[in-house]
Structure 1
Amino acid sequence: MADVRSMLRAERVSRRITHPNASYTGDGKLLCNLCETLVKSEASWQSHLHSTGHALRASRQRDVAAKWTLPQR
């Protein structure tokens, strides 16, 4: 039984999303830091990235970053 649990735990770790806007809560739920929303699963992460709300927030973030970036000489 413990062997099965360790295999499941390893599988869960291998599916973890590594993205600048992704993090995991203390109980292992996927969180979009930009939208401050929980994403139901790793499989739906790509759908979330292409959603209208996320795209709008990402665009605003890029605009703010561009505004505060100093011009290079």
Structure 2
Amino acid sequence: MLGLQYTRLALDHWRKWLPKMYREMRKDGTLNAEAQKASKEAAAQVASLMEAGYQKHEAEAVVLPEYILLPPEK
């Protein structure tokens, strides 16, 4: 289950809701690496929760806001 399935979701969300962070990481050349890192961490956490008995959608509801669907910039 470890993988990069959340990378595109992260990039799309960050571009729309965190434009300053997105631009800074893109300028620094760290955007893709950070999105992949977040995706791997999220996938690992989702897998762990699923092993503990969560359904996939329940695990994603817990994990994605922490790693992928970050709160919008002000």
What TM-score comes out, normalization by structure 2 length? Answer: 0.34
What TM-score comes out, normalization by structure 1 length? Answer: 0.34
Identify which of structures 1 and 2 has the higher relative contact order when contacts are C-alpha pairs closer than 8 Å and 6+ apart: 2
Q: Which one has the bigger strand percentage? A: 1
